[in-house]
């Protein structure tokens, strides 16, 4: 957490910039650089520092979300940013399989619940349950064959920084049809097989095999 003094200082700078904005615009239009030099130093917008709206951190600032990278990661993992799903929840399931854990928990969201539901239907996990009130979590019961997890690989495809969309004829086959690709379509989240049957495309979410 940044010092409160730094946050308050940045707020005062923002107020100063707003106060002198019209005067600066007028002087710049007249090319009166001597007049600009007489204005307070903090009147220039370049003096402002982008700080996280929640923690006050200035490093790793994401303009699109108005917060730092660390705050964004934590909020995304807890499902607090609409439309953003952090890939780490898939990594939790993959790592839990490798560690031979009986269960694992991931933050709840509707799209995650749909994906986990497909994993159960396709036989990749034993069961799952939505627990808690706010924030809710999804408890996933993992499935094994002896001392080996049923899931050999689980990889996210579409990301917030690079969305990947495919048409009905462009849906890839995972491991020659031995795996499953999951898509977010106009009719909800479904497997590649279902999407081909309905002849619809969508956002390619992840691969599992």
Asked if residue 24 lies in contact with residue 36, where contact means CB atoms within 8 angstroms, the answer is yes
CA distance between the termini of the chain: 41
Tell me what pLDDT residue 9 has: 82
Please state, rounded to an integer, the average pLDDT across all residues of the chain: 84
pLDDT, tens only, 102-159 = 998 888 888 889 999 999 999 998 999 998 887 788 999 998 888 888 888 888 888 7
The CATH number of 157-209 is: 3.30.1490.10
CA 70 to chain centre: 12
Mean pLDDT across 78-100:
72
As a whole number of angstroms, the distance between CA 207 and CA 81 comes to 23
* Dihedral over Cα of 141, 147, 152, 156: its sign: positive
Residue 86 scores a pLDDT above 60? no
C-alpha span between 164 and 123 (Å, rounded): 26
What CATH class does 4-77 carry? mainly alpha
CB-based contact 36:27 (threshold 8 Å): yes
Q: Residue 34: is its pLDDT beyond 70?
A: yes
% of residues, the chain, pLDDT over 90 = 21
Give the whole-angstrom CA distance, residue 93 versus residue 116: 10
CA atoms within 13 A on the CB side of 53: 8
- Average of pLDDT values for 46-60? 79
| pLDDT for the residue numbered 82 | 63
pLDDT of residue 54: 75
**Predicted pLDDT at 11:** 84
At 98 the pLDDT is 83
Q: Which long-range contacts (CB under 8 A, 24 or more apart) does 183-190 make?
A: 184/111, 188/114, 189/111, 189/114, 189/115, 189/118, 190/118
Model confidence at 85: pLDDT above 60: no
Rounded Cα–Cα distance for residues 1 and 56 (Å): 6
Q: Domain locations in the chain?
A: 4-77, 85-150, 157-209
Would you state the pLDDT for residue 3? 65
Q: What is the arithmetic mean of pLDDT over 185-209?
A: 91
Architecture of the CATH domain 85-150: 2-Layer Sandwich (3.30)
Has residue 20 got a pLDDT over 80?
yes
Residue 51: what pLDDT?
80
């Amino acid at each position: 957490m940044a010092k409160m003094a730094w946050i308050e200082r940045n707020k005062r700078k923002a107020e100063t910039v707003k106060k002198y904005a019209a005067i600066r615009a007028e002087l710049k239009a007249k090319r009166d650089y001597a007049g600009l030099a007489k204005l307070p130093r903090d009147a220039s917008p370049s003096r402002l520092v982008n700080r996280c709206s929640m923690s006050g951190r200035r490093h790793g600032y994401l303009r699109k979300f108005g917060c730092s990278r660390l705050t964004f990661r934590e909020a995304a993992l807890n499902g607090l940013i609409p439309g953003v799903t952090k890939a780490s929840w898939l990594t939790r399931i993959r790592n839990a399989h490798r560690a031979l854990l009986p269960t694992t928990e991931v933050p709840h969201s509707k799209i995650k619940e749909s994906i986990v539901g497909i994993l159960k239907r396709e036989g990749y996990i034993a069961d799952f349950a939505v627990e808690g009130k706010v924030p809710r979590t999804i408890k996933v019961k993992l499935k094994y064959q002896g001392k080996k997890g049923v899931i050999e690989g689980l990889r996210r495809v579409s990301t917030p920084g690079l969305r990947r969309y495919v048409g009905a004829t462009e849906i890839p086959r995972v491991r020659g049809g031995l795996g499953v690709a999951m898509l977010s379509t106009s009719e909800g989240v479904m497997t590649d097989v279902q999407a081909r049957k309905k002849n619809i495309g969508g956002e390619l979410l992840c691969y599992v095999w």
